Chain A
Amino acid sequence: MRAAWSFARQQLFENALPMIESIEYWLHTHFSPAWAGFLGWVLVGAVYLGIFAILGLVLVYVERKVAAFFQLRLGPMRVGPWGTTQTIADAIKLLLKEPVTPDKADRFLYNLAPFFVVTATLMALALTPFGKNLQAFDIDIGLFFLLAVSSVGVVGILLAGWASDNKYSLIGAMRSGAQIVSYELSVGLSLVTMLLLTESLQLSEIIESQQAGWWIFRGHVPAFVAFVLFVIAGTAETNRGPFDLPEAESELTAGFHTEYSGLKFAFFFLAEFVNMFMIAVVASTVFLGGWMPFHLGDWAAFNAVMDFIPGPLWFLGKVAFIMFLMMWFKWTFPRLRIDQLLTLEWKYLLPLNLANLVLMAFVVLMKWHL
């Protein structure tokens, strides 16, 4: 049993890299270098598009189930065992629906907006460090790039709101703008706090720097405070409840995507879930050590068992944990009013973040971190 599992594990995770290399080798033997490079990128792009679609479908199902359990319901149960194929049915329904464009909409911008959102999300997704060397796009300004790209999505939301020629859409989009402009500060500052420890913006190096232990444990109080602040601000940045003002159902029907239907609506919907995934990715990379297993000091046996679990599983487990936290927030707390939202950011999160940054700088200066 153990041997079989270890063989399967080796096939799946340790052979992933040789597999990729062999594909690359095959490309280079059959095509000219330029074509091989191009085709390689096309393959990687296709893989990430697949990840995007599957991630969206799975997350929608998980979200619905988790929400149901929080409210003592069963959730989707009819399509497939335990409703597992419900989201696939939903996706097919959305594909078959008529894409309606309002008469007075700005047609070009209206059709462009969903692609802005999806492209921004996909660009962020490309940086996901699934495992050691298992990362499509590992640039040295990774974290900075992530922050920059994740705020491009709001351009799509603003475009969608403005181009729909609908009051609800416009109000939702404007709220989203105000929200992102505010909470981007907190996201950035809490990450800057951690950068004092990691000393690098490259995601793979950030993870390598946690070889001896995850930053949330080694960084004392300021790291933990930064983690909490990041999760709060990250939840707000993805427009999820309790910060889902841009699409507050009870006030704005569906906010900025009121007028969208069919595939274009699906883009917004999936992008929201993948954005949540990205926030969880950043949190688990910077605070929880990415694909690094959990180690406890000198407990060699314990550490060996932890090492046995492959890195990608560690990574996805941590991401799942953060996403569960965010779902827990969403299904517990009531939605904030817009003034409460801005008060929370400008009067509480931002000053706390700044103080926390100074504290962390002091900790690093005194070399108090482990």
Chain B
Amino acid sequence: MTPETSSPIKAKPPVAQIEQELEQKAFKLSEWMAQQGIFLFTAVLVLFALVFIDGFASLPNLTDVFNRAAPIGIVAAGMTFVVISGNYLDLSVVAQVATAAVVLIAVTNAVGLVPAILFAILIALVYGIVNGIAVGVFKANAVIVTLSTTFIGLGILRWLTGGSIYFGDSDGPIRTFGTTRIGPLPLAMILFIVVTLLLSLVLTRTNFGFMVRAYGSNREATRLAGVNTPLVVIGAFTMSALGAMLGGFVLAAFSNTAVSAMSTGYDFRALAAIIVGGTSVFGGRGSVMRTLLGVVFVSVLTNIMVLSGLGFGFQQMAIGLLIVLAVSVDALARKTRVS
């Protein structure tokens, strides 16, 4: 990849070199699939949908696909930080998205928009810090930690709301945000693109982003380099929480309603989008832009299934399978890198 790695190969005797080259060629497919496969898969999937699925190519359907993709995309963009930091995923986005949506509508109705947003930010920070401390300071398993915070968070939300539906003001600011379009694009879509670009810049251009990537590829080295690693983990989980919050806002704005059960499936859709995009679940490798592609893939796939009359059960099966397959490809590619 870099000149540093290629020079020792040249110094090796020819036989070993040939062997190594053969080995690399044999495994190249998985490496290529893990890195570039998403471009091909997305193209094939979209082509397939265009040719075989009735009603896919219509403008209302495509708008619907992207509208549905916006909240998941924002959630996935934030969660990408957690995955790249090598902490697998943040399951608690399910609770966070629903909480943010309910808070936005319920508190706006009761007090006003600004207090609602401030309160939602506060909740997001609490989620980020609690998850981050448990994973970063106590080095507890991220899956178990976020599984328990999901149950705690959803439990609190359902307990306080009683599972009731909240309706926004019919000409309030939330409704306006959900329906405003700039040209053909809904405002939420533009927010999605802006957030993705912003988070991408944070990951690639800032010190924090660099530390997240470094921590994901080698924890011990990052710690020895003097980085405050618990803070990096807390930061990654806070980015995920803020993404989930914005995702919840967008979700609430689209329908101008909020209910605690509205975010079902966001955990695995977001994870599938991140992994399919080519971000490694082993940490250290990946980008927010890849997640964007993954979101397109997952959204188109879901849309195809909906149009073909396949229900939530089939969608769960497909996305579960997708996660396992994508991680398998990643694992095989990783084996070639190590050897």
Asked whether A and B interact, the reply is no
Q: A-contacting residues of B (Cβ < 8 Å)?
A: none
Q: B-contacting residues of A (Cβ < 8 Å)?
A: none
